[in-house]
Amino acid sequence: MGPSPVCPAAVSLNQDDLKKIAAYKAVEHVKSGMVLGLGTGSTAKHAVDRIADLLRQGVLKDIVGIPTSTKTYDQAVSLGIPLSDLDSHPVVDLAIDGADEVDSGLNLVKGRGGSLLREKMVESVSKKFIVIVDESKLVKHVGGSGLAMPVEVIPFCWNHSLRRLVGMFAYAGCIGELRMSVENGKPSVTDNGNFVIDLYFERDIGDLNEASDAILRLPGIVEHGMFIGLATSVIVAGEEGITVKTK
C-alpha cells in the first residue's frame, strides 16, 4: 500500500490535505471487480489518483471506471484506469465524488465545477454514493447558503431561461447570472455543450423536491445542481478528524 495521508490531529492541515484524507477514506470501500463512478473536482481527483495507485500495486483488480466529466476521463486515461460508460454499464456499484454543499439530510449542491449533469446521471444509478468533503462544505440547508446553485441550460435564449428561473424563485430573493469562463471571458460551456446559470438565494428556497420539480419543468433547463437523497454517506474531513454521516 502507498503512503496514507497523515493523521489530522498530528499537524496543521490545509484544505487540500483534508480533501485527500476524505478521498483516501472513501477509496477504502472500493473492492476488486467493482464498476466505479469517478467524480469530478479537486477532491474527487485524489480518489481517482488513489484508485490508480491501488490498481498499479495490484491491491485492486478488474475495476471499471465511469468518469463523470471529460476532465476525469482524461485523468483516468492518463493513469491507466480501465473505463466504460453507462451504455455498457448501466448500474454502478459505487460512486465517489465531492460536493459544494452538504446539509444534515445529506442533500447536496454540486456543479460549481460544471459537471453536474454527468455526475447526476452516474450517481443516480449507483448502488452506493459516497460524498467526500472537507468540513467547509457543511451547510444548514442546501439552497439557502447564499452561494451558487448551478443550473445547466440550453444555450438557445439562455437569458429567457435565466429570467424564468429568477422569477420562479422571487419569493427567496433569487438573483442569477450566466457563468463566464475565466479563460476566455465567454460563456462557460459544459462537457455537453450547454451553459450554466448560477442562482443565488437570499432566503431558503423551502421544499427541495418541489423546487427541483419546478426547475425541471421549465423548457430549456437541462439539469440543476441539487442532489436530493442521492448520497448514501458523506465522509467529512476536518481539523478534528474524520466524520462519516450515513442515511
Binding site for ligand 5RP (CB under 6 A): 39-44, 97-100, 110-116, 119
- Among residues 39 and 176, whose Cβ is nearest to ligand 5RP? 39
| Runs of H (alpha helix) within 109-157 | 116-123
C-alpha cell at 71: 476532465
Instruction: Please report how close the Cβ of residue 42 comes to ligand 5RP at its closest, in angstroms.
Output: 3
C-alpha cell at 163: 429570467
Instruction: Please report how close the Cβ of residue 136 comes to ligand 5RP at its closest, in angstroms.
Output: 9
- Among residues 174 and 196, whose Cβ is nearest to ligand 5RP? 196
What number of other Cβ atoms are within 10 A of residue 192's Cβ? 14
Residues classed as catalytic? 119
DSSP summary character for residue 180: B
Q: Measure the CA–CA gap between 101 and 143, rounded to whole angstroms.
A: 9
Instruction: Please report how close the Cβ of residue 154 comes to ligand 5RP at its closest, in angstroms.
Output: 18
Phi-psi region of 90 (alpha: psi -120 to 50; beta: other; left: phi over 0): alpha
Question: Cα-flanking dihedrals φ and ψ of residue 216, to 5°?
Answer: -70, -15
- Among residues 93 and 123, whose Cβ is nearest to ligand 5RP? 123
Instruction: Please report how close the Cβ of residue 109 comes to ligand 5RP at its closest, in angstroms.
Output: 8
Q: How many residues does the chain have?
A: 247
- Among residues 131 and 165, whose Cβ is nearest to ligand 5RP? 131
C-alpha cell at 192: 455537453
